[in-house]
């Protein structure tokens, strides 16, 4: 079964450094997402991406963050000038198109990668 893959599985970075988290979504999916989960807390939405642009973003996703789809397969999250509070598990997810002929709604789940654990020292 196709899956979302994320690299690296664990990233340790000094505070103030830039970090790039990489994701390869499922190949026929068109919608891409980043979420984060601070240790022991709920999963929080960061950003969604469709048709080569951001479609939605949360308050967390400020100027420190950016996303890019540099080629046909990768989807990256860049965090500039990392802070201690950026330490978290970062999940990439992807989903496919809406299901046709269903009165206009979609039941397509978002499939998550295994996450990248980011530790800021």
Partner 1 sequence: AQKITQTQPGMFVQEKEAVTLDCTYDTSDPSYGLFWYKQPSSGEMIFLIYQGSYDQQNATEGRYSLNFQKARKSANLVISASQLGDSAMYFCAMREGLENNAGNMLTFGGGTRLMVKP
Minimal distance in Å, beta carbon 25 to partner 1? 12
Q: Which residues bind partner 1 (CB under 8 A)?
A: 30-31, 33, 35, 41-45, 48, 50, 55-56, 58, 89, 91, 93, 95-98, 103-115, 117
Distance, CA of 86 to CA of 120 (rounded, Å) = 7
Minimal distance in Å, beta carbon 5 to partner 1? 11
Closest Cα partner for 24 from 7, 38, 39?
Answer: 7
Tokens 């999940």 belong to 91
Minimal distance in Å, beta carbon 12 to partner 1? 16
């Amino acid at each position: 079964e196709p899956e979302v893959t994320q690299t690296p599985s664990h990233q340790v970075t000094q505070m103030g450094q830039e970090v790039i988290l990489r994701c390869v979504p499922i190949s026929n999916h068109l919608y891409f997402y980043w979420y984060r989960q601070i240790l022991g807390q709920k999963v929080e939405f960061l950003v969604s991406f469709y048709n080569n642009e951001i479609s939605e973003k949360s308050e967390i996703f400020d100027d420190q963050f950016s996303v890019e789809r540099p080629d046909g397969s990768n989807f990256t999250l860049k965090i500039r000038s990392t802070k201690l509070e950026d330490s978290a598990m970062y999940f990439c997810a992807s989903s496919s198109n809406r299901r046709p002929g269903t009165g206009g709604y979609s039941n397509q789940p978002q499939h998550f990668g295994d996450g990248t654990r980011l530790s800021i020292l």
